[in-house]
Amino acid sequence: MTHTIQPNNPEITPAPDAADLPAATPAPRSTAPAVPAALKRRIPKYADLAPLMQFKKPEFSKEARLKRASTIWELRDIAKRRTPQAPFDYTDGAAEEEITLRRAREAFLDIEFRPGILRNVSSIDLTTDILGKPSRLPVGIAPTGFTRMMQSEGEYAGSQAAEAAGIPYTLSTMGTASIEDVAAAAPNGRNWFQLYLWTDRDRSLELIERAAKAGNDTLMVTVDTAVAGARLRDVRNGMTIPPALTVKTVLDASYRPAWWFNFLTHEPLTFASLSRYTGTVADLINSMFDPTLTFEDLDWLRETWKGKLVVKGIQTVEDARKVVDHGADGIVLSNHGGRQLDRAPIPFHLLPEVKEAFTKDNSDAAIILDTGIMSGADIVAALALGADFTMIGRAYLYGLMAGGRAGVDRTLQILEKDMARTMALLGVSSISELTPDHVRLLNK
């Protein structure tokens, strides 16, 4: 039975009968309203002040410093203060005028989320499957070269943090920890190996066999480095491997002693998967990597590698389809973090077109996206527009430079919290509920 409740308006009263009206009396003089007790000034009492005086002892530990960072950008600020210019710029910089990198960031900024309301979001599930196995979060750690140059724990910190978080970790061919050492450091982690195909195929085959023997279930071949991009920050900094001690670097070290102490008191920095090399990064790439690669080489890889095969560096719909036709189990939409071809396509913009093409082809190849991701909201947007998974490079390295293994852990904590909050506010409780309707591209 429905009950109707009439509103009670104290300003409306029934008109009285004329007989009930009192004799006319003079109108009273107007008086100022009384001041509420809460607005009267008084001398504060100690009992009122005591709860407000929550003075804490200043904390300067690494743990406290990392805990105060609430975003990846704040981790970047810490990293910049604690890392010499050359390794920081190697991470932070990109090719030529760095237009691609700026556009990649702007792509994530120029979106509008479209939330649903009145959904049960009391529990948020961030788990997903990628390349046949579960991942606790929809993000993995991308391959990065020279990682122990950023901070001495390097690949060991990254692989162990990924293992603890239940996500994949990808070791680079140009890493500073070996395939075997990473497998030993994170024996229960899901370890992938990233391969640059060399002109010397026997050397490539040796790496592939080592990766398989060490338990790597996925091989990620990078195909966008026929030659080195013009990374001008590295040129200006005289970036070499290992870093050279010049007057400039010594002065730079004077107010970053912790980095240099770690660098000088740990094993010398080398390419763990390569023979010893001394020279610039560009010289290494130009002398070692093969500019004659074709799709026939991808066929050779498919025949040689028995695990999952992913091709990284896809920048057109046509190439996305073609590498799948040649046996790839997944692709990484990536422009190498803006570090190769400046003004390259932006992976986030390309994503809907690739998703549409794969749907038309009835392809179940995984679509992974990197470049420009700096928050959990960026990851959620990519998943909504069709990505199956994402990868972070700079974001993880900022955490590494800010605090080693603990800094990488903090990176993943920040991203996880961001993702959970964004999904709850969108009105979805699991990744499978995300659709393109949740995101609108504003300025594409």
Q: Which residues are catalytic?
A: 336
| Two structure tokens written together for 26 | 């003079």
Query: Could you give the 3-state DSSP secondary structure of residue 128?
Result: strand
Own/partner contacts of 276-283, CB < 8 Å, gap of 24 or more, are 277/241, 278/240, 278/241, 278/242, 279/240, 279/241, 280/234, 280/239, 280/240, 280/241, 281/90, 281/145, 281/146, 281/228, 281/231, 281/234, 281/239, 281/241, 282/228, 282/230, 282/231, 282/234, 282/235
> CA 294 from chain center: how many Å?
31
Spatial separation of the C-alpha atoms in residues 198 and 360, rounded to whole Å: 35
Handedness of CA 174, 177, 178, 184 (dihedral sign): negative
Query: Could you give the 3-state DSSP secondary structure of residue 171?
Result: strand
Smallest Cα–Cα separation from 301: which of 321, 329, 320? Answer: 329
Spatial separation of the C-alpha atoms in residues 400 and 297, rounded to whole Å: 35
| Two structure tokens written together for 113 | 């989320």
Query: Could you give the 3-state DSSP secondary structure of residue 417?
Result: helix
DSSP string computed for 186-242: STTSEEEEEEPPBS-HHHHHHHHHHHHHTT--EEEEE-S-SS----HHHHHHT-EES
111: enclosing H helix or E strand: strand 111-113
